[in-house]
Amino acid sequence: MSNYPFSYKLSWLPRFLKPSLAGDAQDFAPMAGTLMDPPPKQAVRLAFVGDISAVANRSAPDCDPAIKALLGAADLVIGNCESPVVDRPSAVLGTRLGTHHAMSEPFLAEALTAVGVAREKLVLSLANNHVLDQGIAGFDETIAALLRLGIRTIGLADGPVVPIQVGSLDIGFAAFTLWRNADEKLFAGRVSMDSDPASWPPAGLDLLCAVPHWDWEFRHFPRDGTRALARRLAGQGVRLIAGHHAHVVQPVEKIDGTIVAYGLGDFLGTAFARQPWPGRIGSILVVDVSSDAGTRGRIASYRMHPFMRLRAGDHERLVLVEALEGRMRDRVAERLKAVFPSPPTDEGVPA
């Protein structure tokens, strides 16, 4: 039913317990960068977050005020809706075990309030492997629930590129998934699996962004095939790529004028509540895009803001890494140093 290679399935549990660091951070870009100097006089701010799920949460998260301020300052927040939004799961046993995802409409609404994201500023991708975990009825219920909440969606099969006006800019978002947990016939006509940018119409857009659900889970460095796809997207005019599915933070790459954030990790836990600590590191990608005449749509700067998901009873507590203390802060800092090259001091980020 799914399209995962057998070797991938065998590696899932070992990599979940111990996420892989096989790779070389020096091949990639720093966590932050300035692409326009001087900066534009006017810009719009995009904030990309990772996978959103209720699997590790029975109630809304607690959120560091600094994270709420970061997300609240964005003109648009883009994330991945990793769980169907349903009143009552149809896959009861799988949902209890965590293999089939589900979250309720009240949970999603309360979680968004807790993290300071206004629904009218939120865009959620439905192009992921779990979107049909509660069947076709659950898929339809998810679309209806997000519509009621006033949340815009991307990644459906009715068109690869969704244009959204952000300030004075027209930005196109193309979300797709390479992975599915159900038969291809069920995904076809519902969820975008179109990863070929040659078929995406970019006309009239100031910026084209891709939001792919790609790569292999619990590996900090992207596979060669994933990087090749990123180069293909960049070659077809995609200037910003923010990926999901790995469930751990992955590095940033600059491909000519394109910024690629391969994996943002989870925003709200998609695996077991007692997940090993490397899988509880997430990141928020903040991108400023010029809206000045003459440079409209150019990326002015980007920055990854790493945070940690800590347990707080029956839910999670989101804390920026710099607010961590003791041994946990040291361990997280060491892991981030292994994934991201030390940023130059002239980019305003401490080395």
How far apart CA 50 and CA 24 sit, in angstroms, is: 23
Q: In sequence order, which residues have a C-beta less than 8 Å from that of residue 219 and are 6 or more positions away?
A: 15, 19, 20, 22, 23, 246, 248, 250
pLDDT at residue 348 in the model: 36
For 157-183, letters b (16+ CB in 10 Å) and e give beebbbbbebeebebbbbbbbbbbbbe
How far apart CA 66 and CA 177 sit, in angstroms, is: 31
DSSP state, residue 212: E
Contact 341, 29 (CB under 8 A): yes
How far apart CA 291 and CA 76 sit, in angstroms, is: 14
Cα–Cα distances (Å) from 44 to 76, 105, 206, in that order, read 8, 29, 12
Pick the CATH number of 44-342 from 3.90.660.10, 3.60.21.10, 3.30.300.30, 3.40.50.1100: 3.60.21.10
Q: Among residues 121, 114, 113, which one has the least CA distance to residue 77? A: 121
Cα–Cα distances (Å) from 48 to 9, 231, 266, 273, 279, in that order, read 28, 20, 11, 23, 18
Q: Among residues 180, 182, 211, which one has the least CA distance to residue 49? A: 211
pLDDT at residue 344 in the model: 43
Q: Return per-residue pLDDT of the chain as tens, 351 residues.
A: 789 999 999 999 999 999 999 999 988 999 999 999 999 999 999 999 999 999 999 999 999 999 999 999 999 999 999 999 999 989 888 888 778 999 999 999 999 999 999 999 999 999 999 999 999 999 999 999 999 999 999 999 988 899 999 999 999 999 999 999 999 999 999 999 999 998 887 678 999 999 999 999 999 999 999 999 999 999 999 999 999 999 999 999 999 999 999 999 999 999 888 899 999 999 999 999 999 999 999 999 999 999 999 999 999 999 999 999 999 999 999 999 999 987 543 343 333
Burial class for 113, CB neighbours closer than 10 Å (0-12, 13-18, 19+): middle
How far apart CA 229 and CA 262 sit, in angstroms, is: 11
Give residue limits of the domains in the chain.
44-342
78: helix, coil or strand?
Answer: strand
pLDDT at residue 111 in the model: 97
How far apart CA 304 and CA 249 sit, in angstroms, is: 10
- pTM of the complete model beyond 0.85: yes
